[in-house]
Amino acid sequence: MSDVMEKTATNAISLDEAIRFIWREAELLDTQDYAQWLDLWTPEGLYIIPIDRDGDARIDQLNVAYDDAEMRAARTKRLKSGFSMSSAPSARTVRLVSRFVEEAGDDGSLTVRAAQQVVEYKFNRTRLLGADVTYRLVRDGDRLRLDHKEIRLLNSDDSLWGIGYLL
């Protein structure tokens, strides 16, 4: 076996490993452990929530979020500081992530598409958000890192305003 083939086989990301990573990420968001959540990311990773569910998610399009590392850090700081009106007080959330579909990348990455439901409780009301989420995971030494997360909400045109947490 060539060195390149051996390295790729050794570094391959299994769907089971990816699912465990995605579930862990959901738990960190539900517990608002943003420091550990930020540590899941590659430095060049992007966190994207496009407004147009069916449009292109590009920086030159209108997006709710198009965050690089600096913007992710600023967003999490704002959410925990009390200076964000939509996050004071913080909502309680529970995320359910399922329907995992894998797409292997040519570069050793693994892209996983999944369905997500977020149940939010705040101000004595409960709200449910549904989304299709795409994750691109890469191996960094002995751990996985999140290199891309794109959240396409089912009702992005009417439900995003006032969300005071990360999806």
Residue 84 is part of a domain; what is its CATH number? 3.10.450.50
Q: Is 46 part of any domain?
A: yes
Q: Is 91 part of any domain?
A: yes
pLDDT in tens, 151-165: 999 887 665 556 667
Q: Is 147 part of any domain?
A: yes
Is residue 129 packed enough to be buried (19+ CB in 10 Å), middle (13-18) or exposed (0-12)? buried
pLDDT in tens, 17-64: 999 999 999 999 999 999 999 999 999 999 999 888 777 767 777 788
3-state secondary structure of 55: coil
* Residue partners of 124: CB distance under 8 A and separation at least 6: none
Q: Is 164 part of any domain?
A: no
Q: Is 166 part of any domain?
A: no
What stretch of H or E contains 156?
A: helix 156-159
Task: Give, rounded to a whole angstrom, the gap between the first and last alpha carbons of the chain.
Answer: 42
Range of the domain at 143: 3-159
Q: How many domains does the chain have?
A: 1
Task: Specify the pTM.
Answer: 0.86
Q: Is 74 part of any domain?
A: yes
- Outline where DSSP puts E strands in the chain: 41-50, 63-67, 92-104, 110-122, 125-140, 143-153
Q: Is 144 part of any domain?
A: yes
Q: Is 70 part of any domain?
A: yes
φ/ψ region of 123 (left if φ > 0, alpha if ψ in -120 to 50, else beta) reads left
